[in-house]
Amino acid sequence: MYAYRKMLLVLGTAMVCSLPVHSQQKAIHIRDLPGLVQSSQPQMKSYEEQVKGSRYGIALAQNTLLPEVNVGYQTGYATYNNITGMSYPGLILPISGPPSAGNRYDPVPGTALGALIKWNPLTFGQRQAAVEKAAALYRLAGSSYNEALFRQQYTAIYVYLDAVFLQKLMQTHQANIARTRTGLEQSLVLAREGIRPGIDTTQFQAALAQATTDLLITRRQYYTQVSELTRLTGLPDSPNNIQLSDTSLMGQLPSATDTIQGFSAHPLLRFYQTKKEVSESTLKEIQRTWRPKLDIYANAYARGSGVAADGSVHKADGWSLSRSNYAAGIQLSFPILQFSEVRIKKKQYSALIKADEAQLSQITLDLQKQQATARFNYDQNILVLQQTAVRSQAASFAYEGLQLSYTSGLIDFTRLTQGQYDLLKAETDEAAAFLQVWRSLLDIAVSGGQLTTFTDNLK
C-alpha cells in the first residue's frame, strides 16, 4: 500500500513540477526592455504621434506671416432698385449703386467678382510671442512623452525583476519538493525496518502535497508577472513563449557600487520646467495682445448690372463684368477696451507661474530625498544580503545534519521538517534580499532620471 502511494505521489509531483518547454521561446534581456517599450508599446507610439502633431503648431504660428487672399464670384437676380449695390456677405465688398426714381420690383440680373487680400507683415511682437508659445507647447509635449516613457521603462524593469525573483522561488520550491520526496522515500524504508513509525510516511505525503501547492501558486504568480511584462513591452507573445535571460540576478551583486549622480536631466523635472516655460510664454503673448495691429488690405472688384446708367434695363449686361475697381490701404487699430481683460489675464498667469515655480521646487526636493533614501536603502540591503547568505548556508548545513539524525532514529519527523522549513525560508529570504538590492539600485537610477545607472551595473 505504501509503495502504491509512493508511486502516485512521485508521478503526480513530477507532472506538476516540470515546467513546460517550448522549442521557440523568445529571450528577453533586461537591457533590452527600455528599447522594447519605446519601439513596441502601442501607448508609447500614441504619445509619440501626439508630439509630432504638436510640432505643427509652430508652423501654424509662423504661417500667419503669409497674406490671406480670398476670391469670390457671385451672380443672381435682385430688384431693379439697387442691383448694382446688392451683394451677399462674405468675399465681396458691397458698394452703393444709383437708386431708381421709384420702387420697381422687376427682377434684374447682377454679377460680381472680387478678390480681397489681407496681410499682417508687422505685428509688434505678437506673432513672435505666438511662435514662442507654440514652441513651448511642443517642448511640453516632448517632455510629457519622455516622462511617460521613462515611467513605463522603469515599470517594465521592475516587473522583470519580480518575474526573475519568482523564477528563483520556483527553483527553490522544486528543491524543497525533491528534499520532501527524499524524506518520503527514507520514511518508507525506515518504517519497513521498524526504525520510524508508519505515520511519518503519511506526514511526508502531506508535506509533499503542500510543497507542490506552493510551487503551483508561485508559478501562477510568475505567469501573471510575465504576462504584465509582455503588456508593458507590447510583445504579442504568450508568457509561456517568453524566456527571461537574466536569471542569475538573484544570485549576484551589481558590478559597481558608484551610484552617485545628479537629477538635473530627470524627465519629471524637465516636464515641470517646460510647463513653467509654457506659462511664461502664454503671459508674454497676453502682454503683447494690448499692442497696435497693422493690417494691409487690397481688393480688386468687377461688376455687371442689368440696369444702365440712364435707368434703362439691359438684362444681357447683367451677366457680364462691365465695371472694374481696385483699391489698397493700411489699417492701424488699437484695442483700447481690452486693457481690463489683458490686466486680469496677466494677473492670472503671473499666479500660475508662481504655482509652477513652487511645484518645481517641490519636485526638486522630492528627488533629493528620494535619491538619498534610495542610496541608504541600497547600502542597507547589501548588509542584509550578507546576513541572509550566512543564514542560508547555516540552514543548509543544519538540514544535512538533521537528515542524518532522522535516518539514525535520533530525531522525529517534526524536528526534521522544522529544519527543512528553516532551509526553505532561508533560501527564499536570500533570493528576496538579492531582489531588494537590485530594486534599490533601480530606485537610485529612477531618482536620477537615468536608467543606465541600473543597466550599466549588470554583468
CATH class in words for 2-62+126-284+340-455: mainly alpha
**C-alpha grid cell for residue 359?**
511645484
How many Cβ atoms from other residues are within 10 Å of residue 347's Cβ? Answer: 10
Distance in angstroms (rounded) separating the CA atoms of residues 98 and 89: 20
Query: Cβ distance 312 to 287 under 8 Å?
Result: no
pLDDT at 407: 83
Distance in angstroms (rounded) separating the CA atoms of residues 19 and 105: 96
**C-alpha grid cell for residue 269?**
523635472
Neighbour-count burial of 397, counting CB atoms closer than 10 A to its CB (0-12 exposed, 13-18 middle, 19+ buried): exposed
Distance in angstroms (rounded) separating the CA atoms of residues 326 and 301: 6
Distance in angstroms (rounded) separating the CA atoms of residues 265 and 147: 11
3-state helix, strand, coil in the chain (%, to 5): 65, 10, 20
pLDDT at 16: 46
List C-alpha distances in Å: 110 to 94, 188, 301, 327: 13, 114, 14, 21
pLDDT at 9: 43
pLDDT in tens, the chain (459 residues): 334 344 434 434 444 444 454 556 788 999 999 999 998 888 888 889 999 999 999 998 888 888 888 887 777 776 666 555 555 555 565 554 555 566 666 777 777 777 878 888 888 888 999 999 999 999 999 999 999 999 999 999 999 999 999 999 999 999 999 999 998 888 888 778 777 777 888 888 999 999 999 999 999 999 999 999 999 999 998 999 999 988 889 998 887 656 567 788 899 999 999 999 999 999 999 888 888 888 888 878 777 777 777 777 777 777 887 777 777 888 888 888 788 888 999 999 999 999 999 999 999 999 999 999 999 999 999 999 999 999 999 999 999 999 888 888 788 888 999 999 999 999 999 999 999 999 999 999 999 999 988 988 887
**C-alpha grid cell for residue 30?**
533586461
Query: Cβ distance 171 to 214 under 8 Å?
Result: no
Q: Where in the chain is the domain with CATH 1.20.1600.10?
A: 2-62+126-284+340-455
Query: Cβ distance 142 to 271 under 8 Å?
Result: no
pLDDT at 224: 96
Would the pTM of this model clear 0.85, i.e. be above it? no
**C-alpha grid cell for residue 347?**
494677473
DSSP label at residue 88: -
pLDDT at 11: 39
Name the nearest CA neighbour of 326 among 303, 352, 305, 343.
303
Query: Cβ distance 296 to 327 under 8 Å?
Result: no
Query: Cβ distance 57 to 138 under 8 Å?
Result: yes
Cα 73-79-81 angle, rounded to 5 deg: 110
**C-alpha grid cell for residue 157?**
524593469
What is 67-123+292-337's CATH topology? Outer membrane efflux proteins (OEP) (2.20.200)
Provide long-range contacts, Cβ within 8 A and 24+ apart, for 92-95. 92/301, 93/299, 93/301, 95/301, 95/303, 95/325
**C-alpha grid cell for residue 417?**
521538517
Burial string for 255-288 (b: 16+ CB within 10 Å, else e) reads eeeebebebeebbbbbbbbbbbbbbbbbbbbbbb
Q: Where in the chain is the domain with CATH 2.20.200?
A: 67-123+292-337
pLDDT at 88: 52
